[in-house]
Structure 1
Amino acid sequence: MGKRQSRPWIVPDELWSLIEPLLPEPPPKQVKGRRRGVPNRQALCCILFVLPTGIQWEHLRAELGFGSGMTCRRRLTA
C-alpha cells in the first residue's frame, strides 16, 4: 500500500488523467453570460471533501479553495 495522503480529497494527476475523459462536456449556453466558475477538477475535490466530512454545501468556506459549495453540489446532482 502507498503512503496515506493527509488530504484525501486532493485528486492526484494520475487519477485525474483517468477521470477527466469520462466527464461529460458542459451543455452549450442558451444565453451569453459568465463562464463556468469552478473547473471540473476543483469541483471533484470539493465533492470528495464534503461527502465524508458531512459539512453542509452552503457552509463550505471559500478559503478552502474549492469555490462555491452550491456550485459543486449542482455539479454532483446534474
Structure 2
Amino acid sequence: MSKKLIRPTDIEEAQINAAALADPDNLPLTDDELQQFRRAPGRPPGSGKKEQVTIRIDAEILEQFRATGNGWQTRINDALRDWIKHR
C-alpha cells in the first residue's frame, strides 16, 4: 500500500515560502548553489582503460587502504603503477 503525496495549497505554499525567506538562518540557495545539485549524479566517467579482475591481497593491506576512505581502489592502482615505474 503506497501513501499518497499531499501537496500544499497555493496559499500554504506562499506561507511556507514567506516563512523560509524570513528566516536568516535558512536563506534560499542562489542559482550557482542550485547548479551544484543539478549536475549528473554518480561517479565521473572513468578513463575506459581499466579492467576488472579478481586478485587476492592480504587482509591487513586491504584494511590499511580501506581505512583511508573512498578511493582506496584507485590508491592501490596508483601504488602498483608507482611500483612498476621504479622497477
TM range (shorter): under 0.3
Q: Which has the larger radius of gyration?
A: 2
